[in-house]
Structure 1
Amino acid sequence: MAGSQCCSNPPIINTSYGSGCAEKYGGLDVYAMGSPNSKRAILLISDVFGYGAPNLRKLAGRVAASGYFVVVPDFFYGDLFVYDNNRPLAVWLKDHETVKGFEDAKSVIDTLVGKGFYAIGAAGFCWGAMVVTELAKSELIQAAVLLHPPFTSVDDIERVKSPIAILGAEIDNYSPPELVMKFEEILNAKPQVDSYVKIFPEVAHGWAVRYDVDDEAATQRAEEAHNDMLQWFAKHVK
């Protein structure tokens, strides 16, 4: 994730984008959408560009329209990764380790449970996928979706306990297709854990959230991934 591929096509950040509400969950600022009466919640965890990315908030609206209460937390406390500020990504990552992200995610989930949500799913993009992997190991969620995960290891997947879907890219230096296929092999040997693995052709790392909305083909490929994510949640978060 420290290479240029991860940070290609950075979004224009606008934390006021969308029609959700600004709230506090587990001490974090969150963007929330949907009816709390549904009692089914989805946690969306961003890539390094943070919770204000318009494509991510647009997706939150789509997930909420599917009947879930959606929370998109600011795991970076306002300190999202920004190009051209003389702070390399490798340095930024040391300041935002996924171990801390996992602890924050647990606090958000505790808040959701305290509000009466009985089924919770989580989807993570790039950096966020690493946090969701930790959640899937701990069985704190009913379903996990990893979208173009970086640095996920074979050992991580062997320790997964929650139903998990992995959506990978054909062009990805961080989770190349051969590694994603190894993940599938491991999960297929774990019949107690429902799983779904898919490699999207002709797309690069980040395609599911950092796509150009003016590019019809790119939008269609991203929406295909979003559809797969929603189908996974419909199966397990109910």
Structure 2
Amino acid sequence: MSGPQCCANPPTLNPSSGAGHVEKVGGLDSYVSGSPDSKLAILLVSDVYGYEAPNLRKLADKIAAAGFYAVVPDFFYGDPFVPDNAERPIQVWIKDHGMDKGYEDAKPVIEALNSKGVYAIGAVGFCWGAKVVVELGKSSAFIKAAVLCHPSFVTVDDIKELKVPISILGAEIDQLSPPALLKQFEDVLASKSEAAVRYVDSFVKVFPKVAHGWTVRYNVEDEAAVKSAEEAHGNLLEWFVKYVK
């Protein structure tokens, strides 16, 4: 399931990028942005390139500007995927960085935020991170709302188990989560909304003419790419403003 598209357009990592700073949150080095006094937090779970990606940090700053405390943990412990390392292709790298481990590592981060007085947390996951966020969303104990951007490894069965409002933003050109799969997700979520037992609000959108990774791995000099990414950023912010309160 992790193919070339999963790793396309790698960012140039920059540990000093962004308007925020790095500190320990729940035992993990984390890029944080926004007022630490905010009672509302958004957890950003990166793709395989990790928390030093400038576009990801720029998005965290944008989320912080909307009044949230944005937290981007380093779930890879200083070992993001390096596409030029022929000895460690993605299939090998991912064995050391499973999404199940990311899910477990996210729990202490959430606990640390709660202990600081944060009472509502949302989470957005990109590619690899989307699976982590889905796992968190299978219980209402961890997060209030979820957003998935061009998810990887997420299955229909995962979507069936969701307990929190979810927004799924996908790309028209995506081998990992093609529009046909997103349509299945949408159908499952629609049936959940209609079920009297458990109402889960949802939003599924496929962005035309963009490829997997477009929300954080866009070329800042490509006007059309920036516009599509910013539209997605606006959608995810609207979702969190609506449900993380």
Give the TM-score range, shorter chain: over 0.9
Q: 2: distance between equivalents of 1:113 and 1:184?
A: 31
Percentage of matched positions with identical amino acids? 64
Query: Structure 1 residue runs of 4+, over 4 Å off?
Result: none
For 1:42-61, what aligned pairs fall within 5 Å after superposition? 42-61=42-61
TM-score by length of structure 1 reads 0.98
For residues 151-200 of structure 1, the C-alpha deviation after alignment (integer angstroms, 9 at most, x for no partner) is 21010000000110000111111111011011000001112001110011
Q: 2: distance between equivalents of 1:146 and 1:17?
A: 23
For 1:10-159, what aligned pairs fall within 5 Å after superposition? 10-85=10-85, 86-139=87-140, 140-159=142-161
Q: 2: distance between equivalents of 1:129 and 1:208?
A: 13
Q: 2: distance between equivalents of 1:22 and 1:3?
A: 31
User: What is the CA-CA distance between 1:2 and the residue it aligns to?
Assistant: 2.5
* 1:151 alignment partner AA: F
* 1:132 alignment partner AA: V
| 2:34–2:68 contact (8 Å) kept in structure 1 | yes
* 2:65 alignment partner AA: A
User: What is the CA-CA distance between 1:219 and the residue it aligns to?
Assistant: 0.3
Q: How many residues align?
A: 238
Counterpart residue number, 1:188: 190
* 1:222 alignment partner AA: A
**SS in structure 1 opposite 2:51?**
coil
* 1:197 alignment partner AA: V
1:166 to 158, 165, 168: 168
User: What is the CA-CA distance between 1:41 and the residue it aligns to?
Assistant: 0.2
| 2:2–2:176 contact (8 Å) kept in structure 1 | no
User: What is the CA-CA distance between 1:8 and the residue it aligns to?
Assistant: 1.1
* 1:158 alignment partner AA: K
* 2:164 alignment partner AA: S
TM-score by length of structure 2 reads 0.96
Could you list the runs of 5+ residues in structure 1 that have no partner in the other structure?
A: none
**SS in structure 2 opposite 1:122?**
strand
Q: 1: distance between equivalents of 2:204 and 2:168?
A: 5
1:211 to 205, 218, 222: 218
Could you list the runs of 5+ residues in structure 2 that have no partner in the other structure?
A: 194-198
* 2:146 alignment partner AA: A
* 1:212 alignment partner AA: N
1:199 to 188, 206, 213: 206
Moved more, 213-222 or 82-91: 82-91
* 2:104 alignment partner AA: E
Q: CA RMSD in A?
A: 0.7
